[in-house]
Amino acid sequence: MDKNSPLTESIFYILLAVRKPNHGYGIIQEVEQLTNGRVVLGAGTLYGAIQTLEKRGWITIYSEDTASRKKKEYIVTPIGRAAFDAERRRLAELLENAKIMEEYAYENLSSLLG
Amino acid sequence: MKTFRLYWDKDKEIKWLNEMAEQGYAMTHFFAGLYTFEKCTPGEYTYQIDFGDKFSGVSHNYREFMKENNIEIVQTWGLWIILRKKSADGPFLLYTDIDSSIEHYTKIRNKLKIAAILELFCFIMECIVTLYNPYMFPLVLLIGYLMLVIMNAAFKTNRIIADLKEQKGEKVAVSKNPSPALIAGLLLNAVSCGLMAFDTPEPIKITFHIVAILLMIYGIIDTFSKNKV
């Protein structure tokens, strides 16, 4: 799994969007909303990512009802969920360590003020 | 309206198709370089080109996926997939992050490389045929020209990939390999030296030599410009 870490922004948001059953267009829309329009997934990017994630076993097809022309939905698997959590811990560590920067600035300021 | 064009650079092709759509001509059909256009409201469609994995059109999965995203597959031609979307449905980009763009262009480059090697093979075969039948000579020139065009497209794609990797902050390995054109030139030079031994008409010998020299010059320039990055 090391090779796949850290997750790309696209993969991170796709995994998030399929926490519940979601289809291609739904994923694009949700990611766009979550990021206030900053991340708009291209159809080629999303298609490729879905193929990769399916191959890795991180997501799986939830439903495919071709008779009623229902769209193909995907959902995250436990392996995908584990990868997401690992990424989340990595990001939390980054944020935690980022505080050091502020603390240093604060200490400097207080020593200046005496 | 029908127009004949040959494109090796998909970015240029997209630009052209979108310019045509902007002028009110929507591309609807493609066959061996012949583009068919129909009248449309100016700017009605935005075109994009994708690159598939197999020669026999696209998978059912791909088709369904694109349809779901309001994207129409206009034409597949070998590995090329020409797509369009109504401009009213929003902007149309296929690859929106660096990783997937790198993957996309790598796929294109690898196929161009295979095509260039095949052309080189055909070229050498034709050269040999020309020894016995000088009338085949124009074909040699044509294949040689095509080979150069494909090689050039492969190098350009290589540079796009290198730029993308640099953007990503990845260290781009500077290629110290000589350009394939240089190798092709040297090979052809060997062939033309071999021709001396046979009783070959003079113009053919000379042209072989000229093509070999041109290839070598191009190869040297390309090798240096690649290693300068």
Cα–Cα distances (Å) from B41 to B28, B47, B73, B86, B117, in that order, read 14, 14, 19, 11, 43
CA A46 to the chain's CA centroid = 12
| β-sheet with B45-51: strand ranges across | B45-51, B80-86, B71-77
**Residue range A79-101: average pLDDT?**
93
Domain boundaries along the sequence of chain A: 7-113
Report the amino acid identity of residue B154: A
Q: What is the rounded CA–CA span in Å between residue B229 and residue B224?
A: 9
- Give the burial class of A33: count Cβ atoms within 10 A of its Cβ; 0-12 exposed, 13-18 middle, 19 or more buried: exposed
Q: Answer whether B57's CB lies under 8 Å from B76's CB.
A: yes
Q: What is the rounded CA–CA span in Å between residue B44 and residue B85?
A: 9
Contact residues on chain A for B100, CB-CB shorter than 8 A:
10, 42, 44-45, 48-49
Each of the 229 residues of chain B gets a pLDDT tens digit; together they read 888 988 878 889 999 999 999 999 999 999 888 999 999 999 899 999 998 877 777 888 899 899 988 999 999 988 889 999 999 988 899 999 999 999 999 999 988 888 888 888 888 888 778 777 777 778 888 888 888 888 888 888 988 998 898 888 777 665 556 677 777 777 777 777 776 666 667 777 777 778 888 888 887 777 766 555 4
Q: Are B96 and A40 an interchain contact pair (Cβ–Cβ within 8 Å)?
A: yes
Interface confidence, given as ipTM, is 0.79
Q: Answer whether A28's CB lies under 8 Å from A40's CB.
A: yes
Residue B56: Cβ within 10 Å count:
8
Q: Answer whether A50's CB lies under 8 Å from A59's CB.
A: yes
Peptide bond into A6 cis (omega under 30): yes
Would the pTM of this model clear 0.80, i.e. be above it? no
How far does A43 lie from chain B, in Å, by closest CA? 5
pLDDT for residue B229: 44
Domain boundaries along the sequence of chain B: 2-89, 98-228
Contact residues on chain A for B96, CB-CB shorter than 8 A:
10, 39-42, 45
Q: Which residue of B has its CA nearest to A10?
A: B97
Domain range A7-113, its CATH number among 3.40.50.880, 1.10.3470.10, 1.10.10.10, 1.10.357.10: 1.10.10.10
Contact residues on chain A for B68, CB-CB shorter than 8 A:
23-25, 71-72
- pLDDT (tens digit per residue) in A36-87: 999 999 999 999 999 999 999 999 998 766 655 667 899 999 999 999 999 9
